[in-house]
A = this chain, B = another copy of it.
Amino acid sequence: VLESPPHPNPADEALAEAILGPPCRAQRRALAKAITLLESSREEHQARGDALLARLLPRAGASFRLGISGIPGAGKSTFIEALGLFLLERGHRVAVLAVDPSSVRSGGSILGDKTRMERLSSAPGAFIRPSASAGVLGGVAERTREALLACEAAGYDVVLVETVGVGQSETAVAGMTDMFVLLHLPNSGDDLQAIKRGAVELADLVVVSKADLDPAGADRARLQIASAQRLLGSQATTDAAPSDAPVWRPHVVLTSALRGTGIETFWSAVEEFRTFQVASGRVEARRRAQAESWMWDRIQAELSAEFEHNPTVAAALPGLLVQVRAGHLPPSTAARQLLGLRASQR
A288: B residues at CB distance < 8 A:
325-327
Interface residue A41 (Cβ < 8 Å from any Cβ of B): no
CB <8 Å contact, B2 and A319 = yes
On whether the beta carbons of B149 and A330 are closer than 8 Å, the reply is: yes
> Given that A294-B331, A312-B1, A316-B1 are contacting pairs, would A193 and B336 also be in contact in the complex, using a CB cutoff of 8 Å?
no
B residues less than 8 Å from A312 (CB atoms): 1
- Which residues of B are found within 8 Å of A332, using beta-carbon distances? 50, 53, 142, 145-146, 294-295, 298
Give a binary string over A303-346; 1 marks a CB under 8 Å from any B CB, 0 the rest. 11001000010011001110011111111111111110100001
A195 to chain B, nearest CB (A): 5
Q: Which residues of B contact A307 (CB under 8 A)?
A: 299, 303
Q: Bound state CA distance, A231 and B192, in angstroms?
A: 8
| A88 is an interface residue with CB less than 8 A from chain B | no
- Among A288, A291, A331, the most chain B Cβ lie within 10 Å of the Cβ of A331
- Could you say which of B196, B198, B294, B333 contacts A50, with CB atoms under 8 Å apart? B333
Contact with B along A129-168 (1 / 0, CB 8 A): 0000000000000100110010000000000000000000
A107 to B102, CA, bound (A): 43
User: Across the interface, do B2 and A295 meet the contact criterion of CB distance under 8 Å?
Assistant: no
Q: Please tell me which one of the listed residues B146, B192, B320, B333 contacts residue A330 in the complex, with CB atoms under 8 A apart.
A: B146
Docked complex Cα distance between A322 and B303 (Å):
22
Are B331 and A292 within 8 A (Cβ)?
yes
Question: Least Cβ distance of A24 to chain B in Å?
Answer: 26
Measured CA separation A50–B321 after assembly (Å) = 17
A residues at B contact (CB < 8 Å): 1-2, 5, 46, 50, 53-54, 57, 60-61, 142, 145-146, 149, 189, 192-193, 195-196, 198, 201, 228, 231-232, 287-288, 291-292, 294-296, 298-300, 302-304, 307, 312, 315-316, 319-321, 324-339, 341, 346
7 A-B pairs with CB atoms under 8 Å apart are: A46-B336, A57-B328, A149-B330, A192-B232, A195-B196, A299-B307, A346-B346
Q: Which 4 A-B pairs have the closest CB atoms?
A: A298-B335, A295-B331, A294-B331, A288-B325
